[in-house]
Each structure stands twice: as structure tokens, then as C-alpha cells.
Amino acid sequence: MQKTFKVTSDTGIHARPATALVNTSNKFKTDVFAESKGKKVTMKSILGVLSLGLEENDVITFSAEGEDAAEAIAALEEIMTKEGLGELHG
């Protein structure tokens, strides 16, 4: 399962929103990954997420496989949209 977003926040995804995304990912059993600019990282590591250097208009794809993958992706989508970080892309 995966969903792709375009970053709409003019400050990109910096420490505070990255922490919210990581904390959410850690609530699930499944491994959750983010991919952007040819780099793939685990969503359970703040350093990994920050290493993507996400800025406004960048595209990020969240992916997960496992028993609660759909719930994990839905939770990340909720944070991306409700916090004004990004919108569904493609």
C-alpha cells in the first residue's frame, strides 16, 4: 500500500512535523517507508525523515506492507493534510 503527496508547506517538512510523522509511524506494527528524490528511509527514524530534506513542492511517497499497513498510511495522510504539510499527488 502506498500514497504519494506533494509538500505544500512553505517551510517544507522540518523537525516538528517530521516528529509528528515519526511518532505516528511508530504506533503501528508494520514497517513504514518514505521515498523522495531517489532516497528511501524508514518513517520510524527522525534522522531518516529529516535526511530527505523535504522542501515545498517536493514529492514524497509513503509505503507500508503488513497487517496494519492501510491504517498506518491513512494516519500519515491525516497528518499531511490536516497539518497543511501536503496534498495527495498523482
Q: Which residue, among 5, 4, 1, 3, has the nearest Cα to 87 in the 3D structure?
A: 5
Q: Please identify which of the residues 11, 14, 74, 87 carries the catalytic annotation.
A: 14
Residue 14 falls in the annotated catalytic set: yes
What are the E-state strand segments in 28-67?
31-36, 39-42, 59-65
Count other Cβ atoms within 10 Å, centred on residue 77: 16
**Would you name the residues annotated as active-site residues?**
14
